Amino acid sequence: MSKYAFRLVLIFCIVFILTGVVVINNGMPQFVKDESNFNIEYSISPLNFKVETTNYSIDMNGNLISNIGKKSSQIMTSSVKEIEYVVNKITDSMFKMFDGIKSIVGH
C-alpha cells in the first residue's frame, strides 16, 4: 500500500470515527448531557455546532463566517496602515538624506 493510500484510509477512518462520536453524542437525552463532562450539540437547519467541556465551550454558528470576514478585514486594514506608515518614514528619511547630499555637492 502506498503512502498516499495509507494516508487517505487513515483520514477516512478518523473522519468516520469523529462523525460517529458527534452523531451519538448529539442523540443522547438531555438529562445525560447535563450530567456529562463532555457535550456536543449540532444542528444543520440553523447552522450551529457547539462543543462543551467542563471548563471550555466552543460555539460555531452561522455568524462564524461573517465574524471571520470582519476580523480579517480589520487585520488587513491595520496591516496596510502600518506598512504605509513605515514606507512613508523610510521615504521621508531618504528625501532628507538626498537633500543633505545635494546641499553638500552644491547642485
Kind plus residue range of the DSSP H or E element containing 90? helix 64-105
Distance between CA atoms of residues 48 and 63, nearest Å: 9
What percent of the chain has a predicted confidence (pLDDT) above 70?
Answer: 99
- The per-residue pLDDT for range 29-79, each reduced to its tens digit, is 888 878 888 888 888 777 788 888 888 887 887 777 777 778 888 999 999
Sign of CA dihedral 63, 68, 74, 77: negative
Q: If 0-12 CB within 10 Å is exposed, 13-18 middle and 19+ buried, where does residue 22 land?
A: middle
Residues 93-106 have pLDDT tens digits of 999 998 888 888 87
SS3 48: strand
Q: Give the per-residue pLDDT at 107.
A: 59
pTM, full prediction: 0.46
